[in-house]
Amino acid sequence: MKNYVIGIDIGGTYIKSGIIKYDGTLLATDKMATPVDNGVGEVVHTISCLIDSLIKQTGIKRKEVIGVGIGSAGAVDRVRGEVCFAANLGIQKVPLADLVEEKTGFRVKIANDANCACVGEWKFGNGKAYSDLILVTLGTGVGGGIIIGNRLFEGNCGAGGEIGHMLLNKGGRQCSCGRKGCLEAYASATALVQITLEEMKKDKFTKLWNVLDDSKMITPQVIFEMAKTDKLAKKIVDDYIHNLGEGLVDLCNIFRPQAIIIGGGMSAQGENLIAPLRDYIANHIFAKETTPPVDVLQAKLGNDAGVIGAASLFVS
Amino acid sequence: MKNYVIGIDIGGTYIKSGIIKYDGTLLATDKMATPVDNGVGEVVHTISCLIDSLIKQTGIKRKEVIGVGIGSAGAVDRVRGEVCFAANLGIQKVPLADLVEEKTGFRVKIANDANCACVGEWKFGNGKAYSDLILVTLGTGVGGGIIIGNRLFEGNCGAGGEIGHMLLNKGGRQCSCGRKGCLEAYASATALVQITLEEMKKDKFTKLWNVLDDSKMITPQVIFEMAKTDKLAKKIVDDYIHNLGEGLVDLCNIFRPQAIIIGGGMSAQGENLIAPLRDYIANHIFAKETTPPVDVLQAKLGNDAGVIGAASLFVS
B261, B135 in Cβ contact below 8 A?
yes
- A291 CB near a chain B CB, below 8 Å? yes
Write the single-letter amino acid at A34. T
Ramachandran area for residue A212 (φ above 0: left; ψ -120 to 50: alpha; else beta): alpha
- B177 CB near a chain A CB, below 8 Å? yes
A251, A146 in Cβ contact below 8 A?
no
Q: What is the spatial order of strands in the sheet that B75-77 belongs to?
A: B75-77, B82-86, B91-94
- Which residue in chain B is spatially nearest to A249 when comparing CA positions? B166
- A295 CB near a chain B CB, below 8 Å? no
Put simply, the answer to whether B156 touches A132 (Cβ < 8 Å) is: yes
Put simply, the answer to whether B254 touches A161 (Cβ < 8 Å) is: yes
Put simply, the answer to whether A85 touches B287 (Cβ < 8 Å) is: yes
- A302 CB near a chain B CB, below 8 Å? no
A31, A16 in Cβ contact below 8 A?
yes
Q: Tell me the C-alpha to C-alpha distance, in Å, between residue B41 and each of B47, B51, B103, B104.
A: 10, 16, 10, 13
Question: Does position A241 have pLDDT exceeding 90, yes or no?
Answer: yes
Instruction: Give the separation between CA A289 and CA B157, rounded to whole angstroms.
Output: 13
- Which residue in chain A is spatially nearest to B247 when comparing CA positions? A167
- B84 CB near a chain A CB, below 8 Å? yes
- Measure the CA dihedral A169/A175/A180/A184, to 10°: -20
Put simply, the answer to whether A153 touches B155 (Cβ < 8 Å) is: no
Instruction: Give the separation between CA A170 and CA A191, rounded to whole angstroms.
Output: 17
If you count them, how many residues does chain A have? 316
- Res. A157 pLDDT band, cuts 50 70 90: confident
Position B299 scores a pLDDT of 94
Tens-digit pLDDT profile for chain B (316 aa)? 789 999 999 988 899 999 999 989 999 999 999 988 788 899 999 999 999 999 999 999 999 999 999 999 878 888 889 988 777 777 788 999 999 999 999 999 999 888 999 999 999 999 999 999 999 999 988 988 999 999 999 888 777 888 999 999 999 999 988 899 999 999 999 999 999 999 999 999 999 999 988 888 999 999 999 999 999 999 999 999 999 999 999 999 999 999 999 998 899 999 999 999 999 999 999 877 777 899 999 999 987 888 999 999 998 7
CB nearest to B246's CB, from A167, A254, A258: A167
- Residue-wise burial string across B255-285, b where 16 or more C-beta atoms lie within 10 A, e elsewhere: bbbbbbbbbbbbbbbeeebbebbbebbeebb
Within the 60-79 window of chain B, which residues sit less than 8 Å (CB to CB) from chain A?
74-75
- B168 CB near a chain A CB, below 8 Å? yes
List CB contacts (< 8 A) between A165 and chain B: 250, 253, 286
CB nearest to A177's CB, from B84, B166, B286: B286
- Res. A315 pLDDT band, cuts 50 70 90: confident
For a pLDDT cut of 90, what percent of chain A falls above it? 73
Put simply, the answer to whether B291 touches A177 (Cβ < 8 Å) is: no
Could you write out the DSSP letters of every residue in B225-237? Answer: HHTTT-HHHHHHH
DSSP three-state, residue B242: helix
Contacts for A213 with CB less than 8 Å, ≥ 6 apart? none
CB nearest to A258's CB, from B156, B179, B294: B156
pLDDT in tens, A41-71: 999 999 999 999 999 999 999 999 999 999 9
Give the single-character DSSP code of A94.
E
Q: How close does chain B come to A184, measured CA to CA in Å? A: 13
Position A240 scores a pLDDT of 98
Instruction: Give the separation between CA A16 and CA A3, rounded to whole angstroms.
Output: 21
Instruction: Give the separation between CA B256 and CA A134, rounded to whole angstroms.
Output: 16
* Domain B4-121+304-314 part of CATH 3.30.420.40: yes
- A179 CB near a chain B CB, below 8 Å? yes
Provide the pairing of β-strand A108-112 with A65-72: parallel
Q: How close does chain A come to B23, measured CA to CA in Å? A: 30
A110, A299 in Cβ contact below 8 A?
no
Position B290 scores a pLDDT of 74
Domain B129-299 in this protein, CATH class: alpha beta
A287, B85 in Cβ contact below 8 A?
yes
Question: Does position A37 have pLDDT exceeding 90, yes or no?
Answer: no
Phi and psi torsions of B107, nearest 5°:
-70, 140
List CB contacts (< 8 A) between B288 and chain A: 85
- A282 CB near a chain B CB, below 8 Å? no
List CB contacts (< 8 A) between A153 and chain B: 148
Instruction: Give the separation between CA A85 and CA A126, rounded to whole angstroms.
Output: 30
Q: What is the CA radius of gyration of chain B?
A: 20
Strand-pairing partners, residue B5, are: B20, B67
List CB contacts (< 8 A) between A161 and chain B: 254, 256
Query: Per-residue pLDDT averaged across A243-269, rounded?
Result: 95
Q: How close does chain A come to B19, measured CA to CA in Å? A: 31
Instruction: Give the separation between CA B185 and CA B169, rounded to whole angstroms.
Output: 10
Position B295 scores a pLDDT of 97
Position B210 scores a pLDDT of 93
Contacts for A198 with CB less than 8 Å, ≥ 6 apart? none
Instruction: Give the separation between CA A233 and CA A269, rounded to whole angstroms.
Output: 15
Put simply, the answer to whether B253 touches A170 (Cβ < 8 Å) is: no
Higher pLDDT pick, A118 / A87: A118
B4, B314 in Cβ contact below 8 A?
no
Position B159 scores a pLDDT of 79
- A281 CB near a chain B CB, below 8 Å? no
Give the single-character DSSP code of B268.
G
Q: Look up the ipTM and state it.
A: 0.82
Position A116 scores a pLDDT of 92
DSSP three-state, residue A69: strand
Query: Per-residue pLDDT averaged across A147-169, rounded?
Result: 89
Put simply, the answer to whether B256 touches A148 (Cβ < 8 Å) is: no
A115, A83 in Cβ contact below 8 A?
no
Q: How close does chain A come to B257, measured CA to CA in Å? A: 6
Residue A209: enclosing H or E segment and its boundaries?
Answer: helix A208-213
Within the 202-241 window of chain A, which residues sit less than 8 Å (CB to CB) from chain B?
none
Query: Per-residue pLDDT averaged across A209-217, rounded?
Result: 89
- Res. A236 pLDDT band, cuts 50 70 90: very high
Position B269 scores a pLDDT of 96
Question: Does position A289 have pLDDT exceeding 80, yes or no?
Answer: no
Could you write out the DSSP letters of every residue in B179-227? Answer: -BSBTHHHHSHHHHHHHHHHHHHT-TTSTHHHHHHTT----HHHHHHHT
Query: Per-residue pLDDT averaged across A237-266, rounded?
Result: 96
- Which residue in chain B is spatially nearest to A158 when comparing CA positions? B256
DSSP three-state, residue A37: coil
Put simply, the answer to whether A169 touches B166 (Cβ < 8 Å) is: no
Question: Does position A105 have pLDDT exceeding 90, yes or no?
Answer: yes
Give the single-character DSSP code of B296.
E
Count of H helices and E strands in chain B? 10, 13
CB nearest to B179's CB, from A170, A284, A291: A284
If you count them, how many residues does chain B have? 316
- Which residue in chain B is spatially nearest to A94 when comparing CA positions? B290
Instruction: Give the separation between CA B160 and CA B76, rounded to whole angstroms.
Output: 9
Identical fold, B4-121+304-314 and B129-299: yes
Query: Per-residue pLDDT averaged across A10-39, rounded?
Result: 91
Write the single-letter amino acid at B298. Q
Within the 99-158 window of chain A, which residues sit less than 8 Å (CB to CB) from chain B?
132, 148, 153-157
Q: How is chain B split into domains, by residue range?
A: 4-121+304-314, 129-299
List CB contacts (< 8 A) between B173 and chain A: none
For a pLDDT cut of 70, what percent of chain A falls above it? 99
Q: Give long-range contacts, CB 8 A cutoff, 24+ apart: B185-188.
A: B186/B240, B186/B243, B186/B244, B186/B247, B187/B138, B187/B142, B187/B240, B187/B243, B187/B244, B187/B247, B188/B138, B188/B139, B188/B140, B188/B141, B188/B142, B188/B164, B188/B266
Instruction: Give the separation between CA A143 and CA A161, rounded to whole angstroms.
Output: 8
Put simply, the answer to whether A169 touches B169 (Cβ < 8 Å) is: yes
- Which residue in chain B is spatially nearest to A259 when comparing CA positions? B156
- A287 CB near a chain B CB, below 8 Å? yes
Put simply, the answer to whether B167 touches A246 (Cβ < 8 Å) is: yes
List CB contacts (< 8 A) between B72 and chain A: none
Contacts for B73 with CB less than 8 Å, ≥ 6 apart? B10, B11, B12, B86, B88, B89, B112, B113, B140, B141, B143
Q: Which of A136, A166, A169 to mutate to test the interface with B (most CBs of B within 10 A)?
A: A166
> What interhelical angle do A271-284 and A231-255 show, nearest 10?
50
Position B23 scores a pLDDT of 87
pTM of the model: 0.85
Question: Does position A87 have pLDDT exceeding 80, yes or no?
Answer: no
Put simply, the answer to whether B85 touches A148 (Cβ < 8 Å) is: no
Instruction: Give the separation between CA B123 and CA B5, rounded to whole angstroms.
Output: 15
Instruction: Give the separation between CA B172 and CA B140, rounded to whole angstroms.
Output: 19
